[in-house]
Structure 1
Amino acid sequence: MKETYLGVNVSNLTYSALIEAIFADINKKKKSMIVAINPEKVMKAQDDPELKKLLNRADYQVPDGIGVVLASKLKGGKIKQRVTGIDMMLNLCEEAAERGKKVFLYGAKPGIAEEAKQELIRKYPNLQVSGTLDGYEKDETKIIETINEGNPDIIFVALGSPRQEYWILDHLDKISPSIFQGVGGSFDVISGRINRAPEIFMKFGLEWLYRLVKEPWRWKRQIVIPKFLIRVLMKK
């Protein structure tokens, strides 16, 4: 159930279908990786074969950017909605709380993962967060041992992309979780350190516009969206 845009695979599953597939993987103890796909990553992958290989190595490539949804519509695909990285994480935490599965938060600056943990437990009181560890820890042995001691089913890795995805691939067989998701700056948002766009912007897939208004210097990054769509339309 995947579509391909400029050589990069994207899942066309809905949140609910993804949740069922992911928790089936947990029950089978199958190691799976979730990566968020947006036009910026796809365009970078055009000049970086290793990045393209990395993105396609994931089991679930969720359509995080509105540009990916538009590309699917333009090409007659089946992607109907964005599946953002942070909302995928929150959906997984909600379901983990209901199913008695454990999660681990790794990454971000010191203290932020712990703040995100407290907010997640406030939001989902039954959630078992088996541990947190900031992204500035350098002791590889400590990182592996701390995660394995917590024995989580799901680990959320907030090291920035693509560093977090390379880290996941390097640790898939070294640590205990079944599900690995790179979540970028999600801990900062969940902890309240950074505000998300207002609901009206998110509803219409205009978070990029909100960020552009708040941070005008991002315009060079946002121009990637039309470039991506033009490339998709030109590709036979």
Structure 2
Amino acid sequence: MNKVSINGVEVYPFTSDKELLAHIDAHKRILVAVNAEKILHATNLTREIINQNCGYCDGIGAVVALRKKGYQNVIKIAGCELWLKIIAMTWQQGKSYYLVGGTQAVIEQTVRQLKQDFPNIIIANYRNGYIKTQAEKELLLRDIEELRPDIIFVAMGSPKQELLMAEMAARHDAIYQGLGGSFDVYTGKVSRAPEWWRKHQLEGLYRSLAGFKWSKMKRLFKAMPFWWNVLTNKY
């Protein structure tokens, strides 16, 4: 499958979850959820990470941009669902997993819940997402090298998680996925948008409007140039 460039960010036009899962099964890459914000504010470094790996549509903005380019069957694939589908596809094969992200309480609850949902799952190790020093990061990278997990999930938000996964991948070949706040969603700390909003691919808008905060609205307004560029065919 050929990738499609949007503002220099190359995205795979997957038409189903199964198509993406088959790609994952055949290629060890960093999976990057691409949305309007990542396309609009891409730097040379984040573009390079995405373009050398596997960017997929995890936002209606990326979907609309690809459809404007003729890929009418492309779909949004929610990263907060994808990581669990990856586990469901691989855990009975004896694959091992390494988890990074969230607060200490959230990561511990995530691990407990995974062990309940996927009996005998192999969790190689885990740690919270608050890496404060270079020494802490080096310990994490060494742990990854020594344990050599098959699949690594990093939930720290962008671009921190992509930059960290790139460093990990330089030392150990595995499947990586950036998860943002997915551990919070999985453990029930944060609720997803209601089904109607998800069905109509408006989950990002719902998050911006729910529990009104100016910080969320600023992010929404900052995405306006993206939509202008899509509508005027500048991408």
Alignment of 1:28-39 (within 5 A): 31-39=28-36
Code of the aligned partner of 1:53: E
Tell me whether 1:49 sits opposite 2:44 in the alignment. Answer: yes
**Counterpart for residue 118 of structure 1:** 112
Counterparts in 2 of 1:126 and 1:202: CA distance versus 1, 3 Å = farther
Aligned with residue 151 of structure 1, among 148, 151, 164: 148
Aligned with residue 167 of structure 1, among 164, 171, 177: 164
**Does the Cα contact within 8 Å between 2:5 and 2:11 map onto a contact in 1?**
yes
**Counterpart for residue 195 of structure 1:** 191
**Does the Cα contact within 8 Å between 2:13 and 2:66 map onto a contact in 1?**
no
User: Equivalent pairs: percent with the same residue?
Assistant: 34
Can you list the C-alpha shifts for 1:152-194, whole angstroms capped at 9, x where unaligned?
200001122111111111221324x511111111111112211
**Counterpart for residue 185 of structure 1:** 181
Q: Distance in 1 between matches of 2:7 and 2:170?
A: 30
Q: Distance in 1 between matches of 2:222 and 2:35?
A: 10
Greater than 4 Å deviation, 4+ residue runs: none
Code of the aligned partner of 2:164: W
**Does the Cα contact within 8 Å between 1:12 and 1:78 map onto a contact in 2?**
no
Q: Distance in 2 between matches of 1:225 and 1:83?
A: 20
Q: Distance in 2 between matches of 1:66 and 1:89?
A: 19
User: Over aligned residues, Cα RMSD in angstroms?
Assistant: 2.1
Code of the aligned partner of 1:101: K
Q: Distance in 2 between matches of 1:79 and 1:113?
A: 36
Q: Distance in 2 between matches of 1:179 and 1:51?
A: 18
SS of corresponding position for 1:36: strand
**Does the Cα contact within 8 Å between 1:120 and 1:127 map onto a contact in 2?**
yes
Q: Distance in 1 between matches of 2:147 and 2:108?
A: 14
SS of corresponding position for 2:124: strand
SS of corresponding position for 2:32: strand
**Does the Cα contact within 8 Å between 1:104 and 1:154 map onto a contact in 2?**
yes
**Does the Cα contact within 8 Å between 2:209 and 2:217 map onto a contact in 1?**
no
SS of corresponding position for 2:104: coil
Alignment of 1:9-28 (within 5 A): 9-13=10-14, 14-25=16-27
Give 1:75 shift. Answer: 2.5
Tell me whether 1:229 sits opposite 2:230 in the alignment. Answer: no
**Counterpart for residue 6 of structure 2:** 5
Aligned with residue 93 of structure 1, among 81, 87, 93: 87
TM-score, reference length from structure 2: 0.86
Code of the aligned partner of 1:88: L
Bigger mean CA offset, 198-207 vs 61-70 = 198-207
SS of corresponding position for 1:223: helix
**Does the Cα contact within 8 Å between 2:185 and 2:191 map onto a contact in 1?**
yes
Give 1:78 shift. Answer: 4.3
Gaps of 5+ in 2: none
